């Protein structure tokens, strides 16, 4: 009987979405995505659901902050160009 490989576990969509929103047009998005997946697997492998959830929340909040900061920069640049 052949052994089936387990599919790599990826973080929930609400953790990945801010990452994609913050880094989407950049070329190194894939590196950040893979790094996030490896960190998530490392935390999840320890088996503590609370720590896994806390990791997801912290990561999501951090990337949401980056997204907001980047959006503000884009708005400011558009405003400066318009004036």
The full set of domain ranges for the chain reads 47-83
Q: Are 61 and 70 in contact (CB under 8 A)?
A: no
Q: What does residue 46 show for φ and ψ, rounded to 5 degrees?
A: -70, -20
- Cα–chain-centroid distance for residue 1? 37
CB 10 within 8 A of CB 37: yes
- Give the residue carrying structure tokens 């558009």: 78
pLDDT given for residue 10 in this prediction: 86
Q: Could you tell me the two tokens for 53?
A: 């959830």
| DSSP conformational letter for 26 | S
Per-block mean pLDDT, blocks of 10 residues, the chain (83 long): 68 90 85 92 88 93 90 88 81
Put simply, whether the predicted model's pTM sits higher than 0.85 gets the answer no
Q: What pLDDT shows up at residue 5?
A: 67
């Amino acid at each position: 009987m052949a052994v089936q490989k387990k599919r790599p576990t990826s973080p929930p969509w609400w953790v990945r979405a801010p990452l994609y929103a913050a880094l989407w047009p950049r070329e190194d998005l894939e590196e950040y995505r893979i790094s996030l997946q490896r960190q998530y697997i490392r935390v999840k492998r320890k088996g503590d659901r609370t720590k896994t959830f806390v990791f997801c929340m912290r990561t999501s909040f951090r990337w949401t902050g980056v997204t907001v900061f980047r959006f503000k920069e884009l708005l400011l640049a558009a405003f400066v160009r318009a004036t």
